[in-house]
A and B are shown apart, each in its own frame.
Chain A
């Protein structure tokens, strides 16, 4: 449970590793492995920047993680092994495509459930509005000519 942060907010936040600290040089990946390396970088989230992949981010931590991925690719490890290495440390949050598990079911199928619920409601409401067959049509009540004449006589100025 989070409480509201007091005013001197900045002093209480962690130094997220966006700028601070020099990053190591990223090891080279050989030409054959480069497409795999790039593809993998794009599906890993930079945990400090959160809305960038580690391929795009300039944060030193992202650079360090690129180095980790490169080192592991050079060591001949598979994509799954590298993904597992990172999720063991940073959780499923590093993966832009979360794995399908019991606790991610709502994440994967929630939107479709909501869409279906919306469709059901839309159909239900439009059905209810439509007149049931055989019901009297919406004809205006018959005009009582005498009463109308009476009103017109009573308000002569209002005559169009």
Chain B
């Protein structure tokens, strides 16, 4: 009984430290969740056309910041290829600080899962979106609102556990 207070204090401290160990300090929560996606007006990858953020409207969309020099992007690439083949969600790619010829070569080599690719050569749009690492992905609803942000490659488990339920919610809300 006389050890109740110190023991409970130490157990409480250990629990807090345990929780702290499992947090990822590199994951910065985005203030953009629930807000409209930042507008952009960027060149397309292949030609002289422009892509504006209006293309994000109309259906749920996954916006993915990637680069040919980004090794971790390859980890999520097979998932994106499957998703685009299955047609479960439209994926829009934004190549980050990459030369267009490098991006094109990378997409030719690994396959192109993107409905369209915009080019952010100087990383200015990336700052608007709060990007601080590639890959970063944003799930948008049909009105262009950011529903979820994921930093780092999306694993199959992330997709099943987080993105799929959110996509189902979106489908239910907009029949």
A contact set with B: CB distance below 8 Å: 1-2, 4, 11-17, 20-24, 47-48, 50, 60-61, 64-65, 68, 87-93
Instruction: Considering the complex, give the chain A residue whose CB is closest to the CB of B133.
Output: A14
Please give the distance in Å from A54's CB to the nearest CB on chain B: 11
Which residue of the partner chain, among A16, A48, A64, A91, contacts B127 with CB atoms under 8 Å?
A: A64
A12 touches B155 (CB 8 A): yes
- Does B109 interact with chain A (Cβ within 8 Å)? no
Instruction: Considering the complex, give the chain A residue whose CB is closest to the CB of B129.
Output: A89
List 14 contacting pairs A-B, 8 Å CB cutoff, sorted by A.
A12-B153, A13-B26, A14-B72, A14-B135, A14-B151, A17-B131, A21-B67, A47-B28, A48-B133, A61-B132, A64-B122, A90-B31, A91-B28, A91-B29
B152 touches A12 (CB 8 A): yes
Known: A2-B23, A91-B28. A15 touches B127 (CB 8 A): no
> What 1/0 mask marks residues of chain B from 62 to 76 whose CB sits below 8 Å from any chain A CB?
000001011111110
Bound form: Cα–Cα A20–B24 in Å? 21
Top 10 A-B residue pairs of the complex, sorted by shortest distance between their CB atoms: A14-B133, A21-B97, A14-B152, A89-B130, A16-B133, A91-B31, A47-B132, A15-B70, A93-B28, A48-B132
A13 touches B72 (CB 8 A): yes
Known: A2-B24, A88-B31. A21 touches B152 (CB 8 A): no
Instruction: Considering the complex, give the chain A residue whose CB is closest to the CB of B151.
Output: A14
Interface hits, B53-89 → A, CB 8 Å: 67, 69-75
Chain B residues lying within 8 Å of A90, measured Cβ to Cβ, are: 28, 31, 130, 132
